[in-house]
């Protein structure tokens, strides 16, 4: 029973952070708000979005499969500017995404736990707690699986 609980807890924190990053906080928050506000109007945009995104989902993995090189090599082959642009975009977006996912995860945790703090501590203390809990779980998780 304890090992089952330990295994469940070892995936909870990182699982919420990963789900928020994989799906995207904007998808979780803004899509529901847009659906409530605009109802079915945006359904017409779904085919257009898929047409625009299709080449990226098709040709990135296809490049890797055909050449045996990752997509970063492809960007480098386009020129150093393409690789530098990719690195800059990744560095800028990763900080924003990490902050957004952490804030949403800590808000979810606060809601489920029912823990209330004075306003001057929110959202920093719960967010720091979530990040520390995730780091501890990520560190301890492999040790428990041995």
Q: What is the 3-state secondary structure (H, E, C) of 42-106?
A: HHHHHHHHHHHHHHHHHHHHHHHHHHCCCHHHHHHHHCHHHHHHHHHHHHHHHHHHHHHHHHHHH
Structure tokens at 142: 């492999």
Percent of the chain residues topping a pLDDT of 70: 73
Q: Where are the domains of the chain?
A: 2-144
**Average pLDDT of the residues in 71-83:** 90
Least confident range of 26-30, 54-58, 78-82, 107-111: 26-30
Whether this model's pTM surpasses 0.75: no
Percent of the chain residues topping a pLDDT of 90: 8
Higher pLDDT, 142 or 23: 142
């Amino acid at each position: 029973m304890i090992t089952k609980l330990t295994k469940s807890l070892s995936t909870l924190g990182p699982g919420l952070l990963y789900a928020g990053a994989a799906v995207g906080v904007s998808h979780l928050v803004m899509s529901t708000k847009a659906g409530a506000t605009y109802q079915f109007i945006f359904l017409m945009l779904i085919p257009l979005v898929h047409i625009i995104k299709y080449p990226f989902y098709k040709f990135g993995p296809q490049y890797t499969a055909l050449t045996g090189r990752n997509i970063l090599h492809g960007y480098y082959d386009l020129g150093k500017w393409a690789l530098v642009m990719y690195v800059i975009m990744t560095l800028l977006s990763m900080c924003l995404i990490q902050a957004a996912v952490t804030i949403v995860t800590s808000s979810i945790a606060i809601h489920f736990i029912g823990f209330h703090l004075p306003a001057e501590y929110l959202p920093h203390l719960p967010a720091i707690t979530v990040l520390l809990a995730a780091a501890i779980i990520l560190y301890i998780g492999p040790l428990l699986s041995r």
